[in-house]
Amino acid sequence: MKPLQKVKKSLGQNFLIDKNIINKIIEIGNINKNKSVMEIGAGYGNLTKAIVCMEPKKILAIEKDKKLAFFLRKKFKNYKNLKIINRDILDIIEEKNFGQNMVVFGNLPYNISTKILASLIMLKNWPPWYDVLILMFQKEVADRILAKMQTKEFSRLSVLSNWRLEIKKHFNVSKNCFFPRPKINSTLLSFKPKRNNPFDLKNPKNLEKVTRVLFSNRRKMINKNFNKLFEKKKSIMKNLNIDLNKRPEELSNEMFYKIAVQYEKLFD
Ligand code: SAH
Protein backbone atom coordinates (compact mmCIF):
# COMPACT_ATOMS: atom_id res chain seq x y z
CA MET A 1 0.00 0.00 0.00
CA LYS A 2 1.35 3.39 -0.97
CA PRO A 3 0.09 6.08 1.41
CA LEU A 4 -1.02 9.39 -0.02
CA GLN A 5 0.74 11.28 2.74
CA LYS A 6 2.89 10.63 5.77
CA VAL A 7 0.88 8.60 8.29
CA LYS A 8 -0.40 10.86 11.06
CA LYS A 9 0.33 9.36 14.45
CA SER A 10 -1.64 12.15 16.11
CA LEU A 11 -4.76 10.83 14.39
CA GLY A 12 -4.07 7.23 15.39
CA GLN A 13 -3.72 6.12 11.80
CA ASN A 14 -3.19 2.37 11.50
CA PHE A 15 -4.94 1.13 8.41
CA LEU A 16 -6.37 -2.36 8.14
CA ILE A 17 -4.84 -4.19 5.20
CA ASP A 18 -5.90 -7.81 5.77
CA LYS A 19 -8.85 -8.66 3.49
CA ASN A 20 -9.78 -11.75 5.46
CA ILE A 21 -10.11 -9.77 8.70
CA ILE A 22 -12.01 -6.99 6.91
CA ASN A 23 -14.55 -9.55 5.66
CA LYS A 24 -14.88 -11.13 9.09
CA ILE A 25 -15.62 -7.71 10.61
CA ILE A 26 -18.22 -6.86 7.97
CA GLU A 27 -20.01 -10.20 8.45
CA ILE A 28 -20.75 -9.32 12.08
CA GLY A 29 -22.82 -6.32 10.94
CA ASN A 30 -25.36 -8.43 9.00
CA ILE A 31 -25.76 -5.59 6.56
CA ASN A 32 -28.65 -5.62 4.10
CA LYS A 33 -30.50 -3.17 1.89
CA ASN A 34 -32.61 -1.87 4.78
CA LYS A 35 -29.72 -0.97 7.03
CA SER A 36 -27.86 2.29 7.48
CA VAL A 37 -24.21 2.19 8.40
CA MET A 38 -21.73 4.60 9.95
CA GLU A 39 -18.00 4.18 9.80
CA ILE A 40 -15.84 6.09 12.27
CA GLY A 41 -12.43 6.99 10.82
CA ALA A 42 -12.66 5.67 7.26
CA GLY A 43 -8.98 6.26 6.38
CA TYR A 44 -8.21 5.05 2.86
CA GLY A 45 -11.57 3.31 2.73
CA ASN A 46 -10.51 -0.33 3.01
CA LEU A 47 -13.36 -1.17 5.36
CA THR A 48 -15.64 1.32 3.60
CA LYS A 49 -15.19 -0.55 0.33
CA ALA A 50 -16.29 -3.80 1.91
CA ILE A 51 -19.31 -2.07 3.45
CA VAL A 52 -20.30 -0.55 0.10
CA CYS A 53 -20.24 -4.01 -1.46
CA MET A 54 -22.98 -5.13 0.94
CA GLU A 55 -25.26 -2.44 -0.55
CA PRO A 56 -26.76 -0.90 2.58
CA LYS A 57 -29.37 1.84 2.29
CA LYS A 58 -27.00 4.57 3.44
CA ILE A 59 -23.40 4.90 4.62
CA LEU A 60 -21.94 7.80 6.57
CA ALA A 61 -18.15 7.71 6.63
CA ILE A 62 -16.62 10.07 9.17
CA GLU A 63 -13.01 11.08 8.60
CA LYS A 64 -11.26 13.93 10.41
CA ASP A 65 -8.22 14.09 8.12
CA LYS A 66 -9.00 16.57 5.35
CA LYS A 67 -6.74 14.97 2.76
CA LEU A 68 -8.12 11.51 3.42
CA ALA A 69 -11.69 12.81 3.24
CA PHE A 70 -10.85 14.36 -0.14
CA PHE A 71 -9.30 11.08 -1.28
CA LEU A 72 -12.39 9.14 -0.14
CA ARG A 73 -14.76 11.47 -1.98
CA LYS A 74 -12.87 10.82 -5.18
CA LYS A 75 -12.53 7.08 -4.63
CA PHE A 76 -16.26 6.61 -3.97
CA LYS A 77 -17.71 9.30 -6.21
CA ASN A 78 -19.94 6.81 -8.01
CA TYR A 79 -21.69 5.63 -4.87
CA LYS A 80 -24.66 7.87 -4.22
CA ASN A 81 -25.62 6.20 -0.94
CA LEU A 82 -22.22 7.01 0.62
CA LYS A 83 -21.61 10.33 2.31
CA ILE A 84 -18.14 11.36 3.48
CA ILE A 85 -18.22 13.67 6.48
CA ASN A 86 -14.99 15.55 7.14
CA ARG A 87 -15.52 16.13 10.87
CA ASP A 88 -14.24 15.02 14.24
CA ILE A 89 -16.52 12.21 15.44
CA LEU A 90 -16.46 13.60 18.98
CA ASP A 91 -18.00 16.85 17.74
CA ILE A 92 -20.95 15.22 16.01
CA ILE A 93 -21.80 12.23 18.20
CA GLU A 94 -24.76 14.00 19.83
CA GLU A 95 -26.32 15.06 16.50
CA LYS A 96 -29.80 13.74 15.97
CA ASN A 97 -30.07 13.50 12.22
CA PHE A 98 -27.91 10.46 11.44
CA GLY A 99 -30.96 8.27 11.23
CA GLN A 100 -32.00 5.36 13.40
CA ASN A 101 -30.96 1.74 13.90
CA MET A 102 -27.50 2.35 12.53
CA VAL A 103 -24.78 -0.25 12.37
CA VAL A 104 -21.53 1.44 13.43
CA PHE A 105 -18.09 0.20 12.41
CA GLY A 106 -14.81 1.64 13.56
CA ASN A 107 -11.22 0.62 13.45
CA LEU A 108 -10.79 3.40 15.94
CA PRO A 109 -7.93 5.84 16.24
CA TYR A 110 -6.20 4.29 19.26
CA ASN A 111 -5.40 7.50 21.07
CA ILE A 112 -9.07 8.42 21.49
CA SER A 113 -10.79 5.02 21.31
CA THR A 114 -11.96 5.07 24.94
CA LYS A 115 -13.14 8.65 24.60
CA ILE A 116 -15.22 7.71 21.56
CA LEU A 117 -16.69 4.69 23.34
CA ALA A 118 -17.50 6.79 26.44
CA SER A 119 -19.28 9.37 24.27
CA LEU A 120 -21.32 6.63 22.60
CA ILE A 121 -22.37 5.39 26.05
CA MET A 122 -23.11 8.80 27.56
CA LEU A 123 -25.54 9.96 24.87
CA LYS A 124 -28.40 12.11 26.14
CA ASN A 125 -31.08 10.09 24.33
CA TRP A 126 -31.42 6.42 25.19
CA PRO A 127 -31.96 3.99 23.48
CA PRO A 128 -29.49 5.59 21.07
CA TRP A 129 -29.45 6.01 17.31
CA TYR A 130 -27.35 2.88 16.83
CA ASP A 131 -28.35 -0.80 17.00
CA VAL A 132 -24.84 -2.17 17.24
CA LEU A 133 -21.26 -0.94 17.53
CA ILE A 134 -18.53 -3.07 15.97
CA LEU A 135 -15.27 -1.59 17.16
CA MET A 136 -11.58 -2.44 17.14
CA PHE A 137 -9.49 -1.66 20.21
CA GLN A 138 -5.94 -2.28 21.30
CA LYS A 139 -6.05 -5.63 23.05
CA GLU A 140 -5.20 -4.14 26.46
CA VAL A 141 -8.07 -1.68 26.18
CA ALA A 142 -10.48 -4.43 25.13
CA ASP A 143 -9.36 -6.46 28.15
CA ARG A 144 -10.19 -3.53 30.40
CA ILE A 145 -13.61 -3.14 28.81
CA LEU A 146 -14.34 -6.85 29.31
CA ALA A 147 -12.87 -7.11 32.80
CA LYS A 148 -14.88 -8.51 35.69
CA MET A 149 -14.70 -7.34 39.29
CA GLN A 150 -11.87 -8.68 41.47
CA THR A 151 -9.36 -8.51 38.63
CA LYS A 152 -6.67 -5.94 38.15
CA GLU A 153 -8.07 -4.92 34.74
CA PHE A 154 -11.46 -4.05 36.28
CA SER A 155 -11.82 -0.32 35.76
CA ARG A 156 -14.13 2.61 35.16
CA LEU A 157 -14.24 1.58 31.54
CA SER A 158 -15.79 -1.82 32.36
CA VAL A 159 -18.29 -0.22 34.75
CA LEU A 160 -19.35 2.45 32.25
CA SER A 161 -19.54 0.04 29.28
CA ASN A 162 -21.62 -2.55 31.10
CA TRP A 163 -24.02 0.08 32.33
CA ARG A 164 -25.75 0.58 29.00
CA LEU A 165 -24.22 -2.00 26.66
CA GLU A 166 -24.13 -5.76 26.15
CA ILE A 167 -20.53 -6.49 25.23
CA LYS A 168 -19.26 -9.32 23.06
CA LYS A 169 -15.70 -10.29 22.23
CA HIS A 170 -15.26 -11.59 18.69
CA PHE A 171 -11.57 -12.19 17.95
CA ASN A 172 -8.06 -10.85 18.35
CA VAL A 173 -6.37 -9.26 15.37
CA SER A 174 -2.63 -9.52 14.87
CA LYS A 175 -0.61 -6.32 14.53
CA ASN A 176 0.51 -7.68 11.14
CA CYS A 177 -2.94 -6.91 9.73
CA PHE A 178 -2.28 -3.17 9.92
CA PHE A 179 -0.16 -0.61 8.14
CA PRO A 180 1.85 0.87 9.70
CA ARG A 181 2.26 -2.07 12.03
CA PRO A 182 1.39 -1.07 15.61
CA LYS A 183 3.36 -2.38 18.57
CA ILE A 184 0.45 -4.35 20.00
CA ASN A 185 -2.33 -6.64 18.86
CA SER A 186 -5.97 -5.63 18.68
CA THR A 187 -9.34 -7.10 19.61
CA LEU A 188 -12.69 -6.73 17.90
CA LEU A 189 -15.65 -6.14 20.20
CA SER A 190 -19.32 -5.49 19.52
CA PHE A 191 -21.82 -3.69 21.71
CA LYS A 192 -25.61 -3.66 21.76
CA PRO A 193 -27.61 -1.07 23.70
CA LYS A 194 -29.52 -2.37 26.71
CA ARG A 195 -33.04 -1.11 26.30
CA ASN A 196 -34.50 -1.49 29.77
CA ASN A 197 -31.89 -0.41 32.20
CA PRO A 198 -32.91 -0.78 35.85
CA PHE A 199 -30.24 1.75 36.82
CA ASP A 200 -31.32 4.54 34.52
CA LEU A 201 -29.94 7.99 35.30
CA LYS A 202 -31.23 11.39 34.24
CA ASN A 203 -27.69 12.51 33.81
CA PRO A 204 -25.03 9.91 32.89
CA LYS A 205 -22.38 12.35 34.11
CA ASN A 206 -23.30 11.23 37.63
CA LEU A 207 -22.00 7.75 36.92
CA GLU A 208 -18.87 9.24 35.38
CA LYS A 209 -18.30 11.29 38.53
CA VAL A 210 -18.98 8.44 40.97
CA THR A 211 -16.63 6.07 39.15
CA ARG A 212 -13.95 8.73 38.74
CA VAL A 213 -13.93 9.53 42.45
CA LEU A 214 -14.15 5.92 43.65
CA PHE A 215 -11.47 4.62 41.28
CA SER A 216 -9.14 7.54 42.00
CA ASN A 217 -7.30 5.41 44.53
CA ARG A 218 -7.39 1.81 43.39
CA ARG A 219 -5.25 0.40 46.15
CA LYS A 220 -7.03 2.07 49.01
CA MET A 221 -10.30 1.32 50.72
CA ILE A 222 -13.14 3.37 49.34
CA ASN A 223 -14.28 4.92 52.63
CA LYS A 224 -12.53 8.30 52.18
CA ASN A 225 -13.65 8.76 48.60
CA PHE A 226 -17.14 7.53 49.37
CA ASN A 227 -17.45 10.12 52.15
CA LYS A 228 -16.16 12.76 49.79
CA LEU A 229 -19.05 11.95 47.45
CA PHE A 230 -21.76 11.78 50.07
CA GLU A 231 -20.49 14.23 52.65
CA LYS A 232 -20.65 11.59 55.36
CA LYS A 233 -24.37 10.89 55.10
CA LYS A 234 -24.62 7.64 57.05
CA SER A 235 -28.09 6.76 55.76
CA ILE A 236 -26.76 6.32 52.23
CA MET A 237 -24.26 3.76 53.38
CA LYS A 238 -27.04 1.79 55.04
CA ASN A 239 -29.38 2.07 52.06
CA LEU A 240 -26.72 0.67 49.82
CA ASN A 241 -25.58 -1.96 52.25
CA ILE A 242 -22.02 -1.27 51.23
CA ASP A 243 -18.81 -2.21 52.98
CA LEU A 244 -16.55 0.84 52.88
CA ASN A 245 -13.49 -1.21 53.72
CA LYS A 246 -13.50 -2.64 50.22
CA ARG A 247 -11.30 -1.46 47.43
CA PRO A 248 -12.97 -0.18 44.24
CA GLU A 249 -12.19 -3.33 42.26
CA GLU A 250 -14.08 -5.38 44.86
CA LEU A 251 -17.37 -3.64 44.11
CA SER A 252 -19.71 -5.10 41.50
CA ASN A 253 -20.92 -3.17 38.47
CA GLU A 254 -24.39 -3.07 40.03
CA MET A 255 -23.03 -1.48 43.20
CA PHE A 256 -21.48 1.35 41.18
CA TYR A 257 -24.83 1.91 39.41
CA LYS A 258 -26.71 1.92 42.72
CA ILE A 259 -24.26 4.44 44.13
CA ALA A 260 -24.75 6.65 41.06
CA VAL A 261 -28.55 6.44 41.40
CA GLN A 262 -28.29 7.51 45.06
CA TYR A 263 -25.87 10.27 44.15
CA GLU A 264 -28.22 11.60 41.50
CA LYS A 265 -31.16 11.53 43.92
CA LEU A 266 -29.24 13.58 46.46
CA PHE A 267 -27.46 16.16 44.38
CA ASP A 268 -29.26 16.70 41.07
N1 SAH B 1 -10.89 2.44 9.00
C2 SAH B 1 -9.63 2.66 8.35
C3 SAH B 1 -8.73 3.64 9.10
C4 SAH B 1 -8.39 3.32 10.54
S5 SAH B 1 -7.19 4.38 11.24
C6 SAH B 1 -8.94 1.33 8.16
O7 SAH B 1 -9.24 0.39 8.88
O8 SAH B 1 -8.07 1.23 7.30
C9 SAH B 1 -8.20 5.53 12.09
C10 SAH B 1 -8.77 6.62 11.18
O11 SAH B 1 -9.53 7.53 12.00
C12 SAH B 1 -7.72 7.47 10.48
O13 SAH B 1 -8.05 7.57 9.12
C14 SAH B 1 -7.81 8.84 11.17
O15 SAH B 1 -7.47 9.92 10.32
C16 SAH B 1 -9.25 8.87 11.60
N17 SAH B 1 -9.53 9.73 12.77
C18 SAH B 1 -8.68 10.03 13.80
N19 SAH B 1 -9.29 10.78 14.73
C20 SAH B 1 -10.57 10.98 14.28
C21 SAH B 1 -11.69 11.70 14.80
N22 SAH B 1 -11.62 12.35 15.96
N23 SAH B 1 -12.85 11.70 14.10
C24 SAH B 1 -12.93 11.03 12.90
N25 SAH B 1 -11.90 10.34 12.37
C26 SAH B 1 -10.73 10.32 13.04
| Chain segment 74-126, per-residue pLDDT in tens | 999 999 999 999 999 999 998 878 888 999 999 999 999 999 999 999 998 99
- Residue 35 DSSP symbol: -
Contact between 64 and 88 under an 8 Å Cβ cutoff? The reply is yes
Residue 104 CA to ligand 1 centre (angstroms):
14
Look at residue 33 in the predicted model and tell me its pLDDT.
95
Residue 28 CA to ligand 1 centre (angstroms):
20
* Residues linked to residue 83 through DSSP beta bridges, in sequence order: 60
Residue 200 CA to ligand 1 centre (angstroms):
32
Look at residue 7 in the predicted model and tell me its pLDDT.
86
Cβ(193) – ligand 1 distance below 6 Å = no
User: Where are the chain's structural domains?
Assistant: 9-193, 205-267
Q: Cα separation of 45 and 60, whole Å?
A: 12
- Those residues whose C-beta lies under 8 Å from the C-beta of residue 39, and which sit 6 or more positions away, are 47, 48, 51, 59, 60, 61, 62, 104, 105, 106
Q: Cα separation of 256 and 117, whole Å?
A: 19
Residue 45 CA to ligand 1 centre (angstroms):
10
DSSP string across 116-159: HHHHHHS-SSSS-SEEEEEEEEEHHHHHHHHPPTTSTT--HHHH
Cβ(106) – ligand 1 distance below 6 Å = no
Q: Cα separation of 21 and 47, whole Å?
A: 10
Cβ(113) – ligand 1 distance below 6 Å = no
Q: Cα separation of 97 and 16, whole Å?
A: 29
The structure's pTM equals 0.95
CATH class entry, domain 9-193: alpha beta
Which residue ranges of the chain lie beneath pLDDT 50?
A: none
196, 208, 210: which is closest to 262 by C-alpha? 210
Q: Cα separation of 208 and 259, whole Å?
A: 11
Look at residue 3 in the predicted model and tell me its pLDDT.
66
Nearest CA to ligand 1 atom 5: 13
Nearest CA to ligand 1 atom 8: 15
Q: Cα separation of 95 and 105, whole Å?
A: 17
Q: Cα separation of 56 and 28, whole Å?
A: 14
Cβ(48) – ligand 1 distance below 6 Å = no
Architecture of the CATH domain 205-267? Orthogonal Bundle (1.10)
Look at residue 97 in the predicted model and tell me its pLDDT.
81
